[in-house]
Amino acid sequence: MKIILFCSLALIVVAVVACGRRNTTEVIVVGGLYASKSEDGSFKVSKVLAVDESAVHVRIYKNKFSGLPQNLDTSALSLGKLGDPDGFGIGHAPIAKEGWLASHVFLKKEPVRDEELEGYQYYLEEMRKK
């Protein structure tokens, strides 16, 4: 009887822990740095600036990585500029929230700086005019 009780309790603990972990990976983290695989097999990094009911507002860096970035130093990331031979990033892009997490891997979280929100602020101003 004690063995059945112990096994039941262990199963409940495992289920609670597993459910708790699953839910944290289903949340889009503001300030989160995420990697996504490009068509050429390289990985690109995006930073979540904000999330609303329908969109994830991201900053997409131009840097490409041959594998999933490890120990990412964000000070080395760049948006670049139009005409750069190795491409450019985007300071603000609203992307449909539905399904976004399915193609992105969370790397780490850092604060969103005021200067990173400039494009997002312009977007909000334009949306208020409509």
Q: Where are the domains of the chain?
A: 29-129
Tokens describing residue 50: 């904000």
* Lowest model confidence (mean pLDDT) among 7-11, 24-28, 58-62: 7-11
Residue 13 pLDDT > 70, yes or no? no
> For residues 43 and 61, what is the distance between their CA atoms, to the nearest angstrom?
11
Cα–Cα distance measured from residue 34 to residue 100, given in angstroms and rounded to the nearest whole number: 11
Distance CA 99, CA 48 (A): 15
**Segment 74-116, tens digit of pLDDT:** 889 999 988 888 889 999 999 999 999 999 999 999 999 999 9
Task: Compute the mean pLDDT over every residue in the chain, rounded to the nearest whole number.
Answer: 83
Choice between 113 and 23, residue whose per-residue pLDDT is larger: 113
Q: Give the pLDDT band (50/70/90) at residue 25.
A: low
DSSP 94-105: EEESTTGGGG-E
Beta strand pairing call for 105-109 and 32-37: antiparallel
Torsion 51-55-57-58 (CA) sign: positive
